[in-house]
């Protein structure tokens, strides 16, 4: 049985993951407005992945007999100064998600909730990949700086991202 505190934390994470889906869809739209279809595709795939994460939490709560509580989803930003700034925000967002998941893991450990601990291990590992891939693109954007050719090449490369499976 999940503690009330754990149920609340996992329910809040559903909201975080749903917001993440909105956040990345908003970024996708921003990139479409710049005719950077590769970046837009990458962000759409990221949005799908985040919505899949929300469903993992949803299913876990239901599997454990806990009540799923939905809260309003905050509107995401819709404009950025540049692709570089968009990816800076994306990395900041991923680091926040990592912190929240780590707090959930700490709670599961402190409560001796082995099932939730095991469930959250997947997310801990996933966040390493999330931060790494986002940071990798961010670092390339920093290297490119104002080089339009480099931006277009990177746009093409990130557009090759396969559909999300998470």
Burial class (CB in 10 A: 0-12, 13-18, 19+), 5: exposed
Tens of pLDDT, residue by residue over 28-70, are: 999 999 999 999 999 999 999 999 999 999 999 999 999 999 9
Pairwise CA distance, residues 131 & 136, whole Å: 8
Residue 161: its pLDDT value, please?
Answer: 87
Domains of the chain: 4-158 (1.20.1260.10)
- The string of pLDDT tens digits covering residues 105-153 is 999 999 999 999 999 999 999 999 999 999 999 999 999 999 999 999 9
pTM, entire model: 0.94
Please state, in angstroms and rounded to a whole number, the distance separating the CA atoms of residues 49 and 52: 5
């Amino acid at each position: 049985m999940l503690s009330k505190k754990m149920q609340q934390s996992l329910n809040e994470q559903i909201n975080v993951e749903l917001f993440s889906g909105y956040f990345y869809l908003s970024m996708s739209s921003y990139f479409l407005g710049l005719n950077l279809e590769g970046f837009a595709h990458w962000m759409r795939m990221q949005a799908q992945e985040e919505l899949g994460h929300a469903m993992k939490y949803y299913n876990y709560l239901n599997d454990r007999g806990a009540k799923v509580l939905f809260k309003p989803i905050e509107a995401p930003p819709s404009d950025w100064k540049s692709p570089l700034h968009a990816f800076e925000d994306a990395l900041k967002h991923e680091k926040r998600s990592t912190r929240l998941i780590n707090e959930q893991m700490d709670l599961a450990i402190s409560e001796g909730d082995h099932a939730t601990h095991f469930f959250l291990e997947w997310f801990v590992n996933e966040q390493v990949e999330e931060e790494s891939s986002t940071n990798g693109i961010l670092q390339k954007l920093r290297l490119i700086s104002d080089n339009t050719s480099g931006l277009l090449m990177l746009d093409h490369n990130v557009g090759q991202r396969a559909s999300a499976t998470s």
